[in-house]
């Protein structure tokens, strides 16, 4: 099963990288009413709440990460991501392709 990567940039605007560790779960929530980006996806950690947003620009994505725009219609609120890399430029997380909505490749 293919892993889908996404980046959480700008963590310094919240709690920095300190709350993140490899293997940790993060939770994704769509924000269609966000005044800056109608495809915004908020990232939360239990006990802290919002810790950032999924990158939605080629300038903020790291490596093969998908943008928030690409993920937006393919996830549901509360989708779980797993932290893979904690880097100075952002936190790279993944989801399994079976986590995506309408994923016909994984239907039995």
Integer-rounded Cα Rg, in Å, for the chain is 13
Domain that holds residue 56: 3-98
Q: Which two tokens stand for residue 6?
A: 């996404």
Q: How deeply is 105 buried, as exposed, middle or buried, from its count of CB atoms within 10 A (0-12, 13-18, 19+)?
A: exposed
The pLDDT score that the predictor gives to residue 103 is: 52
100: three-class secondary structure by DSSP: coil
- Look at residue 87 in the predicted model and tell me its pLDDT: 96
Q: How many domains does the chain have?
A: 1
Percent of the chain at pLDDT above 70? 92
Determine, yes or no, domain membership for 107.
Answer: no
Point out the least confidently predicted range of 1-10, 13-22, 37-46, 84-93: 1-10
Q: Looking at residue 105, what DSSP letter applies?
A: G
CATH number, position 86:
3.30.70.2330
Instruction: Confirm whether 106 is domain-assigned.
Output: no
Q: Would 108 be classed as within a structural domain?
A: no
């Amino acid at each position: 099963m293919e892993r889908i990567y996404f980046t959480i940039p700008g963590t310094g605007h919240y709690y920095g990288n300190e709350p993140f560790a490899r293997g940790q779960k993060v939770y994704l929530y769509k924000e269609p009413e966000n005044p800056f980006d109608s495809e915004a996806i908020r990232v939360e950690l239990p006990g802290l709440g919002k810790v950032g947003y999924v990158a939605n620009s080629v300038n903020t994505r790291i490596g093969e990460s998908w943008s928030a725009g690409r993920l937006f219609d393919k996830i549901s609120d509360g989708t779980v991501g797993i932290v893979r890399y904690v880097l100075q430029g952002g936190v790279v997380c993944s989801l399994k392709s079976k986590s995506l909505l309408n994923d016909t490749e994984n239907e039995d």
